[in-house]
Amino acid sequence: MLDASPIRNDWTREQAEAIYNLPFMDLLFQAQTVHRQYFDPNQVQKSKLLSIKTGGCAEDCAYCSQSARNGAQLSASKLIEVAKVINEAKKAKEGGATRYCMGAAWRSPKDRDMVALEAMVKGVKDLGMETCMTLGMLDEKQVFRLRDSGLDYYNHNIDTSERYYSEIITTRTFADRIDTLNRVREAGIKVCAGGIVGMGEQQMDRIDMMLALATLEEHPDSVPVNMLIPIPDTPLADVEKLDPIEFVRTVALARILMPKTHVRLSAGRTDMSDEMQAMCFFAGANSIFVGDTLLTADNPGEDKDSALFARLGITPMAVGCDGSK
């Protein structure tokens, strides 16, 4: 058996570009080879995502249905009750999810919300599930409070490359996102960070986004790769659809640059054929969101995912199992 590919944080732009632009079959072969060195290729981790506070966000992210500043028409709601979150988590566990992710449409949480957020984390942990939250930017005190409540993962996507970032968001900087990721990692919470493709970016932006993650001091534990879901009335409502092969190339690059990271096939799966999803799994994706909604967007239902898994011979990772060898 070949030695496992080394974990590197010193990838260069030229190296990443050369990998991305390999002949497609060579790229897939390399990605699958790396994947098999670190993971069981026939296991996929299942997460469930719940919106715990929807709409009214002060950020102007051009892709988002929840922004109060980009033309989106979604009404704002308050933070939902802790008991409802726990009840929904129970249903998710019964449906096979091992990680429960809770997302709030905020620039950053307010101190008055922290007690409820801590209770949500503790309640989900008590069910025997892994916990993840995405709440926007965090200060040091908030990070430690979430860590001490038992939070396993914190999601904070970088969204795109640093070059293209200001075309998508102007209310916070790329550096702000990296600062939050570093703060979370230094506190001992696992980092979940990825981005969105198909937002009108150039190929080099997709490469640079993955390179930015792969050259962090430590690779993220989880990297969600999202395909843009165009939202009516937002600035990206009419953006040209990305070539599916480009999406698969992005997944493969993530797998090769970050061999031990869980690469999540995230938003946009409703517009992907079963064959495209299978190709993504072959390219190294080994995590999905289950359920028929992702925050406010559609997602394939659990019955459809189960049928696809059966056709491909894929089994879900068990609670407490990360699929690694």
Which residues are known to be catalytic? 57, 61, 64, 101, 132, 192, 264
Strand-pairing partners, residue 196, are 226
Cβ-count burial of 285 within 10 angstroms (0-12 exposed, 13-18 middle, 19+ buried)?
buried
Q: How many CB atoms lie within 10 A of CB 205?
A: 20
CA 38 and chain centroid, separation: 20
**β-pair type (287-290, 43-53):** parallel
CA distances from 144 to 81, 108, 111, 177 (A): 22, 15, 13, 18
Helix (H, G, I), strand (E, B) or coil at 292: coil
Whether 315 contacts 42, CB under 8 Å: yes
- Which single residue is written with the structure tokens 């930015």? 212
Q: How many CB atoms lie within 10 A of CB 178?
A: 17
Cβ-count burial of 158 within 10 angstroms (0-12 exposed, 13-18 middle, 19+ buried)?
buried
| 280 marked as binding residue | no
| 321 marked as binding residue | no
DSSP symbol at 109? -
Output phi, psi for 285, to 5 deg: -70, 135
Rounded Cα–Cα distance for residues 65 and 233 (Å): 9
Residues of the binding site for [4Fe-4S] cluster: 57, 61, 64
Residues of the binding site for [2Fe-2S] cluster: 101, 132, 192, 264
Residues of the binding site: 57, 61, 64, 101, 132, 192, 264
